[in-house]
Amino acid sequence: QVHLVQSGAEVKKPGASVKVSCKASGYTFSNFGISWVRQAPGQGLVWMGWVSPYNGNTKYAQKLQGRVTMTTDTSTSTAYMELRSLRSDDTAVYFCARVSVAGMDVWGQGTTVIVSS
């Protein structure tokens, strides 16, 4: 069974960085991309970007360009999303999702990131 398990909640100060992990199991990790999506409190889902475990290619949402880096470690089947220069409006639940030809088909449980001084 396909599972994506994310790291635990984080509390960060403005200006700091956060790195969220997403460990995959139940499928061949390098055969599917990983997208990251976030949901701010009371808001909808927003796509952040995508990374290919096969070759490391990435595509980021324009709004986050320069502040976000998505990487993978195929030896541990783990994807990472690092967000820098955190602001209060980065407070959100962050999800990873496997990307197949059908789109984002399996999601992680979410990681809460709170940015507060």
Partner 1 sequence: QSGLTQPPSASGTPGQRVTISCSGSKSNIGSHIVNWYQHLPGTAPRLLIHTDNQRPSGVPARFSGSKSGTSASLAISGLQSDDEADYYCAAWDDRQSGHWMFGGGTKLTVL
Residue with tokens 């990435």, as numbered in its chain: 58
Q: Smallest gap, in angstroms, from Cβ of residue 74 to partner 1?
A: 23
Q: Which one, of 66, 85, 117, lies nearest residue 15 by Cα?
A: 85
Instruction: State yes or no: residue 89 binds partner 1 (CB under 8 A).
Output: no
Instruction: State yes or no: residue 35 binds partner 1 (CB under 8 A).
Output: yes
Q: Which one, of 73, 83, 69, lies nearest residue 113 by Cα?
A: 83
State which of residues 47, 58, 67, 69 lies at the interface with partner 1 (CB under 8 A).
47
Q: Which one, of 35, 69, 74, 37, lies nearest residue 53 by Cα?
A: 74
State which of residues 97, 111, 113, 115 lies at the interface with partner 1 (CB under 8 A).
97
Backbone angles phi, psi at 70, to 5 degrees: -115, 130
State which of residues 28, 45, 74, 88 lies at the interface with partner 1 (CB under 8 A).
45
Binding site residues, partner 1, CB under 8 A: 4, 35, 37, 44-47, 50, 59, 61-62, 95, 97, 102-110
